[in-house]
Amino acid sequence: MSGAGKPEAYIIAARRTPVMPRGGVLSGYQADELVAPVLVQLLKDAGLRPDQVDQVILGNALYAGGNPARLAALRAHLPPSVPAMTIDTQCCSGLDAILHGARLINVGAADCVLAGGSESFSRSPIRMHRPKRPDDEPVPYQRPEFAPPPFGDPDLTEAAAMLAEECGIDRLAQTDFAVTSHRKALDAREWIQSRLVAIEQEHVDLDGFTRALNIRTALRAPVLSGPKETGLTAATIACEADGAAAVLIVSERLLKDCDVPALRVVGGRSGGGNPAEPALVPIDVARSLFNDLDLEAGDFDTVEVMEAYAVQAMVTADRLGLNAGQLNQLGGALARGHPIGASGAILAVNLHEQLAKCRESSGKATVYGLALIAAAGGLGSGLVVQTAC
């Protein structure tokens, strides 16, 4: 994404809200209301003024139009002159927003960008198709079309179940992966808690879904998709959730005025693949990034892979040669939930949180982080960062 002679982009602050299951304590808040306090806190963390922001870019997947980013920017008391855009690449939206923000800085079009994602499953609009004839009734639908014929457009849960069956990844292995995700999140809970932005009046400062899960209990969950041996259950599918996350990205010129740790955006890619196999697209995205940056899987000190489904993350880790010590060290979406438009941004926030700590514990001058996420329609996105100062 950046290279010789191009302005570098740096992430200097990263924050998120707690993630709460759909219908939980955040269910009264719209997507823009969730992310506005995150934007305010990011500027406080970096010691920057609202009038220094050049652009706000936020991902959102469920709101079917409008511009939640503009609402959020105004709620965060940014000057009305600051433009804001909302993008929708489904699950990739939050990470794609960050990639777009970094690209603005790479081409010299901005010095300061607030970027991330927000989602309220609880307040998302009810979807209905307008009738074609005046006497017809509106037709409700659960999700839009993500790929037209002749491409396959499977339900994502069905696609994940087919992947588990094709790869022979049984229910026990998936469940063990999910239990490990919860354990990691519990182990890191105190640290995670210290970095969350609480939503006013709700007084929640922990992810609501994380629990002390064990194999025996988790295996009792009924199979929701696929055959009994390899099927997906509520324990191995991330729950629908509400939440928001964002980062503050600046140019090197502005970085010099900020006394905060920074991550340099080394590379990023938004890719596409077979719409019928969406879970596999981030694998090709990662391999392209490795090739472009002359890096290997073992060069990364921490890797954030989206856990929309246990099998999706497991196949990605296996085919890229990632080890358990690298992967989702703070727990993954199986342990916190999946606020679709925010999930990719949460991965980037986790990288920011972990890399500074990782450099201290490892003693290495430079440490690398990787985030990967897949989306409906055969999309995938990846971000590579390294410690900068």
pLDDT band at 388 (very low <50, low <70, confident <90, very high): confident
What percentage of the chain reaches a pLDDT higher than 90? 82
Across all residues in the chain, what is the average pLDDT? 93
Q: Does the domain spanning 9-124+238-387 belong to CATH 3.30.559.10?
A: no
Query: Are 38 and 197 contacting, i.e. CB atoms less than 8 angstroms apart?
Result: yes
Q: Report the catalytic residues.
A: 91, 338
Burial environment of residue 118 by CB neighbours within 10 A (0 to 12, 13 to 18, 19 or more): buried
Residue-wise pLDDT for 81-100, tens only, equals: 999 999 999 999 999 999 99
Helix, strand, coil percentages, rounded to 5, for the chain:
35, 20, 40
What percentage of the chain reaches a pLDDT higher than 70? 97
Bridge partners, 223 (sequence order): 233
CA dihedral 40, 380, 166, 338 (to 10 degrees): 10
Residue-wise pLDDT for 50-62, tens only, equals: 999 999 999 999 9
Tell me, letter by letter, the H, E, C secondary structure of 110-179: CCEEEEEEEEECCCCCCCEECCCCCCCCCEECCCCCCCCCCCCCCCHHHHHHHHHHHHCCCHHHHHHHHH
Query: Are 266 and 207 contacting, i.e. CB atoms less than 8 angstroms apart?
Result: no
- Nearest residue to 348 via CA among 210, 249, 206: 249
pLDDT at 3 over 90: no
Q: How far apart are CA 66 and CA 31, in angstroms?
A: 11
pLDDT at 286 over 60: yes
